[in-house]
Amino acid sequence: MRAFEELIEEAAAADVAGWGFEWLNGRANEERPPWGYAKLVASRLREVQSALDIDTGGGEVLADAPTFPPRMAATEAWPANARRARERLGPRGVVIIESTAEAPDASFELVTARHPVRPDWQEIHRVLLPGGCYLAQHVGPASAFELIEHFVGTLPEAKKQRDPQGECAAARDAGLIVTDLQTARCRMEFYDVGAVVWILRKCVWWVPNFSVERYRKELVALDEQMRSGDPVVAHSTRHLIEARRPR
């Protein structure tokens, strides 16, 4: 394994825009939920005439779909990601907008989202056509907390957030009918300290105000652990949720 400082400097300089994670190939690994979200979305996109993808990042998930409906849009609020999404999806006719507020009422047959920042159920209900479907993979409670708490200490209240049953209740309160809910807990492994730095730079909400200087002691401890052959292990939690707007 390369020197600590070399790994740190490389990760600190690497691009973290978009929602691609190819930089971690060979340096970290994460199990995937069993339902195969990207393939599910690609299949549904073939069946509808209009669709909206929320918090699309750099458009990585949509880009995997071989075909789009005649009217396809996506939201992305972070300028760096929106720029990348336009470059990737614009040539295929996808319109990138900042938020669902730019979409008219009852305007999409399908709304999708992978790891939305915060599902706005009222907005999802508003933009769906009657009978339309919301299909999404959400981040679940206490996701990656073994790693996060190494830096910030225990977070008992935060572990209660993103509860799938609570999200289903909120969807119903907004007038949607929940038709499916599946959950998964997936093992994550990090093999060098650069992978840890890179993921914390990319997922900025994991450890707010993260910097190498601020958390050098914690990073050194993880580096020593991984050099001994023991990867850093955490667990991501995910849930697949499907809901419909009544006709």
Structural domains present in the chain: 31-188+231-244 (3.40.50.150)
Q: Is 46 exposed, middle or buried (0-12, 13-18, 19+ CB in 10 A)?
A: exposed
pLDDT at 1 over 90: no
Say what the pLDDT of residue 17 is.
Answer: 85
Measured CA to CA, the distance from residue 196 to residue 178 in angstroms comes to: 36
Residue 38, pLDDT > 90, answer yes
User: What separation, in Å, do the N-terminal and C-terminal C-alpha atoms of the chain show?
Assistant: 58
| pLDDT tens readout for residues 63-122 | 999 999 999 999 999 999 999 999 999 999 999 999 999 999 999 999 999 999 899 999
Q: How far apart are CA 238 and CA 130, in angstroms?
A: 27
Give residue 26's pLDDT: 95
Cα separation, 64 vs 199, in Å, equals: 22
Contact predicate 125/105, CB 8 Å:
no
Between the alpha carbon of residue 97 and those of residues 75, 82, 155, 189, 199, the distances in Å are 5, 8, 34, 35, 26
In one letter, which amino acid is 243? A
The residue type of 126 is R
pLDDT for 20 equals 85
Residue 104, classified by CB atoms within 10 Å of its CB into exposed (0-12), middle (13-18) or buried (19+), is: exposed
CA distance 12 to 148: 18
Confidence of residue 136 (pLDDT cuts 50, 70, 90): very high
What pLDDT was estimated at residue 111?
98
Please state, in angstroms and rounded to a whole number, the distance separating the CA atoms of residues 67 and 209: 40
Average pLDDT of the chain to the nearest whole number: 96
Q: What is the mean pLDDT of residues 216-245?
A: 97
Residue 225 Rama label (left phi>0; alpha psi -120 to 50; beta):
alpha
Q: Classify the C-alpha dihedral 156-159-161-165 as positive or negative.
A: negative
Longest dimension (CA), the chain: 60
What digits encode the pLDDT tens for the residues 141-156? 999 999 999 999 999 9
Whether residue 41 contacts residue 65, with contact meaning beta carbons closer than 8 Å, is answered with yes
Confidence of residue 18 (pLDDT cuts 50, 70, 90): confident
Q: Beta-strand (E) ranges in the chain?
A: 28-30, 50-54, 71-75, 95-97, 108-114, 128-139, 177-190, 232-244
N residues, the chain: 247
Per-residue pLDDT tens over the stretch 169-187: 999 999 999 999 999 999 9
